[in-house]
Structure 1
Amino acid sequence: MSNVPPSPTNLRGAVDLSGLVNRPAGPAAPAAAPSAGAEGEQLVLPSLYFEGTDANFNDFIDLSMTVPVVIDLWADWCEPCKQLTPILDRVTADYAGRFVLVKVDVDANPQLAQAFQAQSIPAVAAIVGGRPVQLFVGALPEPQVRDVIEQLLQLAAQNGVTGSVAVDGDAGLPAGAEGAEAAEPAPEPLPPLHQEAYDAIERGDYESAMKAYRTAIAQDPRDRMAVAGLAQVSLLHRLSGRTIDELRSAAAAAPADPDAQLAVADLDLSGGHVDDAFDRLLALFPKLGPEARDAVRTRLLDYFEIVGVDDPRVVRARARLASLLY
């Protein structure tokens, strides 16, 4: 696969789960997961979907010796999480046991949230052969989620994790989800322009999505969701059709070229390397002329919206930017 997001094999800073490895297993994890799996081994589990907790996560680390375990870090208050959840559910079902999906409520499981450095959600990671891999941050459209899963399965195969899961029971719903529609109210619909933008993102039509978000902002400049959505879809649009090697080679060949550095900073941010993206642009900023400085400042403000203005990394970067401006 040639387009971003980056291949998991190139991701740095994978989280350290060593503090969880020796925790006692709790309920609601897959039963009898082996500590190591033979090539092509098939396990029988009650579902492809599980709820991960601080107490039971050790069992999923064991399971990752046989089949990749994808981790969805979410929270009930997170609107982009609600956009990503049905995409992950569909993709998991379509891959029919080549990986399992573990959903982690970061509010209820602070140790896991800290282990995966989940300062911005939704965030998606994986465990392969007991080792953590960062995948992406934010609600990506379905085609890009599928690309990331393909890369993850390639990485798993390279590490001998080639097992699969056969479901004993209802494979069509997450574990414990039977009757959920009756037990829980349906989520509130998105505002019309937000829904229009989301549908366009699903189709890969980033220009239409940006137009919808700009219209929403024109109607209500205080619509923070639209501002953040516009920043995120603009990032996706800039990266569309660009290859990882192309972007990194151009940046390495021209360290003082603001366009090349902005492009690779986009790549860093899309892969979850928030501090790397900030550091790259903030280090470049003092070396630039007024026009290029303005472009970098505008891009950083977009990044702040994508990551979240209250995120500690944003607070630090905003302070550094202010010191450079004044």
Structure 2
Amino acid sequence: MAIIDPRTGNPLSAQPTPNDDAPAASTTAHVSRDDVIIELDASNIQQVLQASMQVPVLLDCWAPWCQPCKNLMPILEKLALEYAGAFILAKLDIEANPEIGAQLGVRSVPDVKLISQGGLVDSFQGALPEKQIREWLGRYFPAPAEAAPSPEEQAESALQAGDTATARAIYQELMAQYPEHYAYQVAMARVLVAEGRGEDARGVLDNLPPEERDAAPARGVRASIEFAEQALSSEEIAALGERDDSEARYQRALRQVADGDYDAGLEGLLALMKSDRAYNEDAARKTLLQVFDALGADHPLTVAYRRKLFALMY
């Protein structure tokens, strides 16, 4: 079912491809909370459904006793204001309106439904993190041109800038809000590695469910811990100066891998294989394979460098 952009009158595709370049939402529209967020009940549900013929409605079904609902609602309200009228956020308390909840087929909360032209377009259940909600909305609406960075983006930017304290604080809050979203725990382990707290990072990873503990993201962090333990410190790398022997080249590549600069590290290891295959009992090739395992078989760098390794060997 096509969704109509109320600002342009043009249909928005519900089946975008990853390469779609959706136009950014206009930043000239300014809306108030009352313009885009309403409380839904028996007195106005028919009006809201009728309004969905012109403006898509994001229906948030929640309950006062539901903590995940309380975590989700501020995110939806923030996005409704940010999208500036691309959709209306209608909040339905199913405890106060059980008949409406039953009619809508709500079996658990939070339950978020996208309604357009009087019909259900899509839905999701549970308190998804903001990044995933943005991705979900992105299937149907052009992103706001000046969207505020998500908490995940803020944490990653802080980590890249070396501000591990900020990144750690953000992930701690996200972990508290979404305890079963294990990607945040893996990200926290990455922050701890960046702080030189390898054992603490191992403790976080060891507490993951087995399927998450053995998955590629966690393996990658665990490998970073091991590489960091094996690698020379940054000061020791600097002390190598202009040395270009095999040991110096290997240690530089290992430090790059430990720091998460996988592309440079893999390139260095591959170059060492070309120049000195026998170095330290084929250490460059063995380390390449460890990095591949850490990144996962489907990672683009794994695919690219496996191909290069195969070409070099055969």
Larger radius of gyration: 2
TM-score normalised by length of structure 2: 0.38
TM-score normalised by length of structure 1: 0.37
> Comparing both chains, which one has the higher relative contact order based on Cα–Cα distances under 8 Å and sequence gaps of 6 or more?
1
